[in-house]
Amino acid sequence: MKAEHHRRTVAQRSPLKPSERAMNGVKAESLRALNLSLCLRQILAAPGQISRSDISQTTGITRATISRLIDELISAGLVTEIEPTTGKRGRPAHRLIPTPERAVALGLEVNISGLDLVLIDLAGQEIAAERIESDFAGSDPLHTMTRLAEAAHQLLATSLPEGALFLGSGLALPGLVSPRSLALAPNLGWKDIPLNVLLSPLAHVHPAIVANEADLAAFAVAHPLPGVPSGPPSFIYVSGEVGIGAGIVVDHRPVSGARGWSGEIGHICADPDGPLCSCGATGCLEAYLGLRALGQRAGLGRDTTVEEVKASARAGDLATINALTEGGAALGRCLSAVINAVDIPLVLLGGVVAELGEWLVEPAAQEIETRVLQAAWSRPRIELVPHSRHLAVKGAAHRILQRLVDDPMAWIV
């Protein structure tokens, strides 16, 4: 019953296409849409602390107009007004919060070592999550996507709250994703797959966003809560498992490039005479720092885990320590090229790269200090992002929720 309910909800509440909105021009309805979004952003940024009067004072919009807009959001079930807190002087005002478990998005991720799913509401609450561990390198794309679709269907059937507005799903992939196809996911062994084919098994969960996993993880760092850009404004986020990728963010906005393919730091050359990479080139960062490549260079085997690498390094194994030091230096060389090119001095390490940061940061920082031109005046910083393995799937859900925040009227008219 729940799964059937969410299908009806999406069909009834599908947002207007941008072309349909553009035909209307900047009219009263367009201004209303912008102001609804503004109100919702204010509430998401200070849930339980903000009132109608606060929003009016902050935005400069009249109290009467704000009240009408808030009433619309409440009527749609997106916002709830709660009783005022006591103990303050004067007449206490009712406070506003995003309605828990009302607007819900599904985040999905395919990676080399597993499939991840998470259901998140507009308040940023994780309603349910699941992970399917397996080796998907060289897997059949449609078989893998069908397996993901079955897990998604089951998660929604058992965990979607009654009466929820299901907004659809976002998908994170470890490769080059264009608006029409997955061009290449080298570690999965997938190439030139039209998105309409790849996503066909997921039709029932309405995939609306498909993007590179590092880009989506970076979005989650910049927007730790849906619709709230409260993370660092500009940074380079580096994450990795078998592959190494990066997401670049400037003023809380992703820098995705002309085709959405920016951030492929794993395939910047650290040494042209270096080892062969899975992409076919030699000396790529991924050939030093990807977990399987790192395991082989440390003599631990390609199927080693990050926990085994850490244990070996802490036991003083020279081959492991040398492999990590070499990987950190390669990371620093590649980051230096990126920092020199885009002038972003903050580097955040996530995923396996963060878990191995104890051995990687120092050799990486030494290379950056030598190679980054502006280091003497503005020294780049490297910071670790803890608990970051699931940021990509979280970012996929947040990107879907962001569509509602950007245009709530599309979902409530």
pLDDT of res. 389? 86
pLDDT of res. 27? 65
pLDDT of res. 262? 86
* Upper half-sphere CA count for residue 37 (Cβ side, 13 Å): 18
pLDDT of res. 12? 43
* Record: fold of 235-384: Nucleotidyltransferase; domain 5 (3.30.420)
The listed CATH number (3.40.50.1820, 1.10.10.10, 3.40.190.10, 3.40.50.2000) that belongs to domain 2-100+405-412: 1.10.10.10
Q: Has residue 90 got a pLDDT over 60?
A: no
Residue-wise pLDDT for 133-185, tens only, equals 999 989 999 999 999 999 999 999 999 999 999 999 999 999 899 889 999 99
Which three-class secondary structure state does DSSP give residue 307? helix
| Range(s) within the chain of domains with CATH label 1.10.10.10 | 2-100+405-412
Does the domain at 103-228+391-403 match CATH 3.30.70.260? Answer given as no
Q: What is the pTM of this model?
A: 0.88
Percent residues over pLDDT 90 in the chain? 77
Q: Has residue 51 got a pLDDT over 70?
A: yes
Residue-wise pLDDT for 322-342, tens only, equals 999 999 999 999 999 999 999
| Range(s) within the chain of domains with CATH label 3.30.420.40 | 103-228+391-403, 235-384
Q: Show Cβ contacts of residue 43 under 8 Å, excluding neighbours closer than 6 positions.
A: 50, 55, 73, 79, 96, 97, 98
